Amino acid sequence: MTKLRSILKFFTAVEQSEGVGARVRRTIGTFQQRNFSPFLMLDHFTVGAPAGFPDHPHHGQETITYVLSGMIAHEDFTGSSGVLRPGDLQFMTAGKGIVHSEIPVEMENGEPSVGLQLWVDLPAHLKNCEPRYRDLRAAETPVAHPHPGLEVRVISGKSYGVSSASELAYTPVNMYHFKLSKKDVDFDQPFAQNFNTFMYILKGSVKIAGKVYEPYSAIFFNPDGDAIAGQSASDDTEFVLVGGEILNQPVVQMGPFVETSRERIAAVYNNYQHGVNGFERAPGWTSSISNGITENEVKSHENDQKH
């Protein structure tokens, strides 16, 4: 018999400034919820040109970027680059070291780019792996329609018999985007017992165990059951439901560097400062998008590649 998980805590994300001119609603990574293994941070970002997240490093973690509207361009010091459109995701493993830039494309209609970015810890034995990317296009994520009024985008994992692509991240993470078109639509989602799970409400409201949660609520669950279930409490409700394997290891974080001890974090910072042990390409590197990129430039570049 399925046992539903109880709620550990919940709170509403408040908008704040981040990066260069960006606005974010941060849930994980705040004083209200510092870490939630394996998760280190969750930002619901709204960013328009000329704002963005210009050249910056990472170590010892993975990031999952999910674009909801607009476009985000990215480029790193390995020569990797690309553009994420609405519905696209990028799974980036920083490993021993990466320096990259994430910049909103200046849209012709003037709209900002909106999305989610989730930071995920890496197991200690993978902290110094080689960096890698996996771009997941909107068309590559299957969608389940289990009953009227419910749609589930299966980004990573399995929901209502529909399975996602595999090998997206080193740390096991399940991620689902639920859309409920009307009030009182039921949903449920199983999770492994060794996974921490949370929900973030993008729009509308959700009822769980008789309590209603409003937009921008982050709801964290105890690992005391096999599934999460509830109902939509309004028309046109959307939320993400995310789970990840609990890593039983210390978290020592210095900005975008994540390690398991103070000594290790100091060594990583030294590596970055001196351009060694994974950061050899960092000194003097500047991304070509750090000063911005327009929708026309994206289209022009794609046309050049076709020819």
Q: What is the pLDDT of residues 12-59, one digit of tens each?
A: 999 998 877 789 999 999 999 999 999 999 999 999 888 888 999 999
What per-residue confidence (pLDDT) applies to 243?
Answer: 98
Check whether 76 has a pLDDT greater than 90: yes
- Percent of the chain scoring above 90 in pLDDT: 88
Nearest C-alpha neighbor of 297 from the set 110, 105, 113, 109: 105
270-52-198-159 Cα dihedral, nearest 10 degrees: -110
Euclidean distance between CA atoms 99 and 24, whole angstroms: 21
Order of strands, edge to edge, in the sheet holding 89-93? 15-18, 22-26, 39-47, 113-121, 61-69, 89-93, 132-136
Average pLDDT, the chain: 95
The response to whether 307 counts as a known ligand-binding position is no
Q: What is the pLDDT of residues 223-269, one digit of tens each?
A: 999 999 999 999 999 999 999 999 999 999 999 999 999 999 999 99
Residue 303: pLDDT over 90: no
177 marked among binding-site residues? no
Q: What is the pLDDT of residue 307?
A: 57
> Is the CB of residue 196 less than 8 Å from the CB of residue 223?
yes
pLDDT of residue 270: 97
Cα distance between residue 117 and residue 157, in whole Å: 18
Fold of 141-248: Jelly Rolls (2.60.120)
Closest CA to 294 of 158, 144, 105: 105
Q: Give CA–CA dist 13/85, Å, rounded.
A: 25
pTM: predicted TM-score of the whole model, two decimal places: 0.95
Q: What is the mean pLDDT of residues 153-180?
A: 96
Q: What is the CATH number of domain 14-140?
A: 2.60.120.10
Please give the DSSP secondary-structure letter assigned to residue 192: -
Top-confidence residue, 66 or 22: 66
Q: Is 100 annotated as a binding residue?
A: yes
* Tens-place pLDDT, residues 205-229: 999 999 999 999 999 999 999 999 9
Residues 196 and 218 sit within 8 Å (Cβ to Cβ): no
pLDDT, tens digit (0-9, with 9 covering 90-100), for 120-136: 999 999 999 999 988 89
List, by residue range, all CATH 2.60.120.10 domains of the chain.
14-140, 141-248
